[in-house]
Amino acid sequence: MVDARIVQTTRALHAAVLQLASQQPVSTITVADVTRAAGINRATFYSHATSPGALLTAVLTPELDEIRADDHALREQGTSGPDATRRALERVVDHVVRHREVYRLALPDALDASIHQALAKHFETSSVQHLQSLPEGTLPEGVAVHIAAGSYAHGLVGAIEAWLVGKRTSRRTLLETMTLMTPSWWH
């Protein structure tokens, strides 16, 4: 059984870092800021995370992991093709929209790339998993899975960042653009 105090502290830390990260870039958030907002001490903070960026990553990553697991389960059940890819992309877009201000401030943060790296890692891991499950002969000759996955992953993160900081367009425009960026052989 998990100690209720640990659960309460974890919730307070998560809420504090999300609130702070929606107001300022991750690189400007100090451990003191998080501990003050969460009502805990430094030692307790460090028993949960090594930095505000690492804590924020730990808050956002489980939702992305759930999206990947659900996508994998659907594909294992036979749901595949462009619709499956679009569905997974749409869930990530919904996640980004829910945490819009966090991503808007964190993705272009040159001094703390933890969120940029976490989102890219999500797309890259999901892409490798997907590409390795495709039937033999699906990938064009000469395509290296890890290079294709990395390129696609960072392109999607770039698209999200451009959407967040650029000319205001709809969520649907982001989803359509990301879907159209997906190579036809990907499915």
Q: What is the pLDDT of residue 140?
A: 95
Residue 81 pLDDT: 86
Contact 51, 32 (CB under 8 A): no
pLDDT at residue 78, as a whole number: 85
- Using a 10 angstrom Cβ sphere, with 0-12 exposed, 13-18 middle and 19 or more buried, the burial of residue 78 is exposed
Give the per-residue pLDDT at 23.
98
Distance in angstroms (rounded) separating the CA atoms of residues 149 and 162: 20
Enter the pTM of the model: 0.93
Burial of 76 (0-12, 13-18, 19+ CB in 10 A): exposed
The pLDDT assigned to 177 comes to: 97
Amino acid 10: pLDDT: 95
State in Å, rounded, how far the first CA of the chain is from the last one. Answer: 43
For the chain, which domains are there? 4-46 (1.10.10.60), 52-186 (1.10.357.10)
Encode the chain (187 residues) as per-residue pLDDT tens digits.
768 888 999 999 999 999 999 999 999 999 999 999 999 999 999 999 999 999 999 999 999 999 999 999 999 898 888 999 999 999 999 999 999 999 999 999 999 999 999 999 999 999 999 999 999 999 999 999 999 999 999 999 999 999 999 999 999 999 999 999 999 998 8
